[in-house]
A and B are shown apart, each in its own frame.
Chain A
Amino acid sequence: MSCDLQGDTAILQLTSGVYFGLDAVGTRIWTLLATPSSVATLVDAIAAEFDVDRSRCAQDIVALLDDLEANGLVTVTPS
């Protein structure tokens, strides 16, 4: 479960008891992940909204998704 902290987000993984914090960009990705999305869709949306280099953006999003997956917060499937 997650809660809004004035633009940032805190997430609690209930089984492990681990807390996660997301900044504004992470929060936007977390919100987009409420509906299943492809990595390409996420990169398009974030690169457009936050004025960031597309390849750097893709790198960071994949790293975040890996982290979230390692902690049981998202499921990543091969397309």
Chain B
Amino acid sequence: MPDPYIVYGLRVRSELPLPELLPDPKPGDAAPDIELRMGDGAGGAADLSSPWSLPLTDPADYHPAAPGLLPIHLGRDAQGDFADVLWAPIGRCIARTGAEDGISRITLIPAANVPDDMLRLIVLGPIIGIVLHLRGWLVLHASAVELNGGAIAIMGEAGRGKSTTAGALAVHGHRLVADDVVAIPPAAPGTPVTTVPGFPQLKLWPDAATVVTDTAAALPRLVATAEKRVHRVPEQFAATPLPLRALFVLDDAPEGASHAAPLLPAADAFIELVRNAYGARTFERADAARRFAQMGRVAATVPTRRLRVRRGLEHLPALVTLIESLAS
């Protein structure tokens, strides 16, 4: 296996090289937190004919494939909590966190002829999200940067500009905490909400990339068939877990209105967390009580604002100034 990496503060050993991740600065043979193995040991390609590779034991665990949802089976057996996921036509994945040693083990079985960059895309997106969920973390669909020694996270619907805003803040000297998957580790009640840096990469549309870097034209594509580009920022990446100081929800300013950032009542902030939880619909019934309590704690303690801003890259500098002023 390649040397261990670090992702969300966790040590990863992976048979699939993951050059997006930073090497783990801790040397030696210490046990990993996450271990990724390729294939089922038999050397064959994934059988994609059945959605499940593990038996469905408890009907409450059963998450049938519905339109727009991944076929995912989240359950528990003698070895601990697991997720069994099929991504046709890419492959299948079983992730589980050992009840005894706490190590998250991922088995990824690709279908025939799937390129590594496609596999890395699901490992560093949905699979890492599922693993963090299995480890008891609250996972948000958001991007986050470091501001004045704390973190701020930006939520909003797909395509509204979470990554672009985070990238624009990074250009202004604020270090990236996470893009797309913001992770909040479990913590005792009454302690501050923290978030842990993910990995130093932004996923950007080509036009947004031109605002975030001078070398936009040279940025690699996410995968060969994707329009989105990969912007790696290892020099501009938060180094330690940070208190989560503010949440923002990107939304539109009414016609003719200037930018505004009203503070949301905690009950509204809670609804935004439900909507913007990572895999909001896929996971909604999984470990619902635990996630409910975590979202309640975040909504009650982290100030949340609706950012009413104009669409368009030309409004980014004003948006950056607004977020900086709110976080100071």
Q: Which residues of B contact A3 (CB under 8 A)?
A: 292-293, 296-297, 300
How many B residues have CB within 8 A of the partner chain?
17
Residue from A8, A14, A17 within 8 A of B266 (CB atoms): A8
Given A10-B270, A19-B274, A5:B289 Cβ within 8 A: no
A6 to B184, CA, bound (A): 21
The distance from the CB of B171 to the nearest CB of chain A, in whole angstroms, is 35
B326 at the interface (CB under 8 A from A): no
A1 at the interface (CB under 8 A from B): yes
One digit per residue, 1 when the CB lies within 8 angstroms of any chain B CB and 0 when it does not, for chain A 1-29 equals 10111111010101001010101000000
A19 to B293, CA, bound (A): 12
Residue from B266, B267, B289, B297 within 8 A of A12 (CB atoms): B289
The distance from the CB of B246 to the nearest CB of chain A, in whole angstroms, is 16
Residue from the set B266, B285, B289, B293 with the largest chain A CB neighbour count within 10 Å: B266
- Chain A residue at minimum C-beta to C-beta distance from B301: A6
A6 to B299, CA, bound (A): 9
Residue from A1, A17, A21 within 8 A of B267 (CB atoms): A21
A1, B292: Cβ atoms closer than 8 Å: yes
B265 at the interface (CB under 8 A from A): yes
B285, A17: Cβ atoms closer than 8 Å: yes
How many A residues have CB within 8 A of the partner chain?
14
A67 to B300, CA, bound (A): 25
Q: Which residues of A contact B271 (CB under 8 A)?
A: 19, 21
Q: Which parts of A4-59 form the interface with B (CB within 8 Å)?
A: 4-8, 10, 12, 14, 17, 19, 21, 23
Q: Which parts of B223-278 form the interface with A (CB within 8 Å)?
A: 265-267, 269-271, 274
B292, A5: Cβ atoms closer than 8 Å: no
Q: Which residues of B contact A7 (CB under 8 A)?
A: 266
A10 to B293, CA, bound (A): 10
Q: Which residues of B contact A14 (CB under 8 A)?
A: 288-289
Residue from B265, B288, B293 within 8 A of A6 (CB atoms): B265
B285, A10: Cβ atoms closer than 8 Å: no
B300, A17: Cβ atoms closer than 8 Å: no
A13 to B305, CA, bound (A): 27
- Chain B residue at minimum C-beta to C-beta distance from A13: B288
Q: Which parts of B265-318 form the interface with A (CB within 8 Å)?
A: 265-267, 269-271, 274, 284-285, 288-289, 292-293, 296-297, 299-300
A17 to B292, CA, bound (A): 10
A21 to B271, CA, bound (A): 9
Q: Which residues of A contact B289 (CB under 8 A)?
A: 1, 12, 14
Known: A1-B293, A10-B299. 12 other contacts (CB 8 A): A4-B296, A4-B300, A5-B265, A5-B267, A5-B270, A5-B296, A10-B270, A10-B292, A12-B288, A19-B271, A21-B267, A21-B270
Closest 9 CB pairs of A and B: A3-B296, A5-B266, A6-B266, A8-B267, A12-B292, A5-B267, A10-B270, A21-B267, A5-B300
Query: Can you list 22 pairs linking A and B with CB atoms under 8 Å apart?
Result: A1-B289, A1-B293, A3-B292, A3-B293, A3-B296, A3-B297, A3-B300, A4-B300, A5-B265, A5-B269, A5-B270, A5-B300, A6-B266, A6-B300, A7-B266, A8-B267, A10-B292, A12-B288, A12-B292, A14-B288, A17-B285, A17-B288
